[in-house]
Amino acid sequence: MLIADTGKGIDNELKDKIFSPNFSTKTSGMGIGLALSKRIIENANGQISFESEVGKGTTFTILIPLHS
């Protein structure tokens, strides 16, 4: 699954922190959304990653294996 936006992108110095609990670039919110999402995806034996370019946007890739 791909999720993309055309927002401002993620600065290089913030990329290592993006999945950290309580990290946010916003003045409101708790900064747990991406950390919680990553934990849920990894608990399902999946992976989440992203590519971002400042001024162009960000694309998150989520891979979750099929269960038979």
- Listing DSSP states for 7-63 in one string gives SS---GGGTTTTTSTT--SSSSS-S-HHHHHHHHHHHTT-EEEEEEETTTEEEEEEE
Share of the chain above pLDDT 70, in %: 99
CA distance 20 to 16: 8
**Dihedral (CA of 4, 9, 12, 16) sign:** negative
Mean pLDDT of 31-56: 97
Q: What is the mean pLDDT of the chain?
A: 95
pLDDT at 67: 76
Question: What is the tens place of the pLDDT at every residue in 3-36?
Answer: 999 999 999 999 999 999 999 988 898 999 999 9
